[in-house]
Amino acid sequence: MFVDKVRIFVQAGNGGNGAVAFHREKFVAAGGPDGGDGGHGGNIVLRVNDNMSTLMDFRYKRKYSAPNGEDGRGGRCHGKNGENLVISVPRGTVVRDAETGDVICDMHAEGDFILCKGGRGGWGNKHFATPTRQVPRFAKGGLPGESHDVVLELKLLADVGLVGFPNVGKSTLLSVTSNAHPKIANYHFTTLYPNLGVIYVDEGVSFVMADIPGIIEGAAEGAGLGHDFLRHIDRCRLLIHIVDVSGSEGRDPVEDFQKICEELASYSPELASRPMLVAANKLDLLPPDSDNLERLRAYVEERGYEFYEISAATTQGTRELMKTVAGKLSHLPPVRVFEPEYVKPLAEAGDSQELTIQQEDDLWLISGKWLERLMGDINFADYESRMYFDRQLRKSGLFERLEEMGIEDGDIVSIYDWEFEYER
């Protein structure tokens, strides 16, 4: 079964908790705190796998979770980091946010993409030892990993797309010009999923051509199979519009050409403006007294398209058409890549009353659910990000609550793995 669109849920691993422990060794008095930090949670990583051609692997498994980081241990032992969960996808998979539909990434090239980052591990009590606080009996919890509902959408990486009504000879043309072996039969919707073939024109000259399942009138609104597979010509640099000029099914070739062009425009105006060649197929079945060929030629050339006569079944004109296509591709821009559109919304502050505040001498430990989310979105190496963090804390009323609880200038405020000296 050909599956080219799925929705999945991914969850990165949570960070491990820091440990509360103290050094115990014979003849070593008051060894001090030595609780280790928690390990970082595993990331969710996407990787291109050229051995995959569909999203079939995601049909029955829709939830993916990376391992959590291990908790820290005594002896300053750092918890083991959770391993990254690598999810293989076919080349050409576009990842979208499930809610907005915005593109997160386009898996068209080599290289891994981190879809969700694992949570950072919490600090052990060794971090909180000072000359005046020699026996800290507290540690930090790990941060939660990111999660996301995403839609995986496969868009084939093909240079050329074959479009046209069902049973006009698209699969036959692909079979006689490449090593592909699509199903061929004399009935509609023989092709139920896209087929790819590599066309070798000359030494060092080749391109990839896709046979798109037959589009019918109303495909852009979901009729037939065309609505499901029109996405696969989104990347094609050139289209070949195959038209049956024989009239073997009682259809008019000019009307067929008009309807397919209308469906392409309904699906995507940009797609309708894509460079296109028109190939009149089934010349071997054209009745001697028919004017279909000349009427179609006049109609197509009047609209500025190049017109070619072929018979895929007998290979008449197919070699010349493929050479022409190769020449056209050498002057066209590369395969379309979908640029990222998704911007992750920054977490915002909640009510400071929802936070847990623990005082240990001059140290103030702060934690809470919305604070966890906010910390995951802040890059403390960036000035603007730090200023956003400060504004959110002030917006929540945290500073006012700390002052009501008696915080003084110079006290240390600890928020997960970040500390600052408080100043009014």
pLDDT at 392: 92
pLDDT for 46: 96
Q: What pLDDT was estimated at residue 273?
A: 86
High-pLDDT (> 90) share of the chain, %: 40
Q: What is the H or E stretch that residue 93 is in?
A: strand 93-97
**Residue listed under structure tokens 């049909």:** 59
DSSP 400: H
Q: Supply 214's token pair.
A: 């037959």
Domains and CATH numbers, the chain: 1-154 (2.70.210.12), 160-329 (3.40.50.300), 348-424 (3.30.300.350)
Share of the chain above pLDDT 70, in %: 92
Selected residue with higher pLDDT from 332 and 267: 332
For residue 95, the model assigns a pLDDT of 95
pLDDT at residue 220, rounded to an integer: 46
Report the pLDDT averaged over residues 11-36.
87
With helix as H, strand as E and coil as C, how does 37-73 read? CCCCCCCEEEEECCCCCCCHHHCCCCEEECCCCCCCE
User: Cα angle at 91 between 166 and 86, to 5 degrees?
Assistant: 135
3-state class (DSSP) for residue 356 = strand
- Please give the average per-residue pLDDT across 385-405, as a whole number: 91
What is the pLDDT of the chain when averaged over all its residues?
Answer: 86
Q: Mean pLDDT over residues 101-113, rounded?
A: 92
Looking at residue 343, what is its pLDDT?
84
Give the least confident one: 62-76, 88-102, 259-273, 295-309: 259-273
Mean pLDDT across the stretch 74-87? 94
Residue 165: pLDDT over 70: yes
Query: What's the pLDDT tens digit per position in 211-258?
Result: 877 665 554 455 444 556 677 778 889 999 999 998 877 788 999 899
Top-confidence range, 142-156, 163-177, 260-274: 142-156
- For residue 38, the model assigns a pLDDT of 94
Could you tell me if residue 267 is left (phi over 0), alpha (psi between -120 and 50 degrees) or otherwise beta? alpha
pLDDT of 99 higher than 80: yes
Higher pLDDT, 181 or 272: 272
pLDDT band per the 50, 70, 90 thresholds, residue 189: very low
Torsion of CA 409, 412, 418, 420, to 10 degrees: 20
- Which pLDDT belongs to residue 195? 80
- Residue 179 — very low, low, confident or very high, per pLDDT cuts 50/70/90? confident
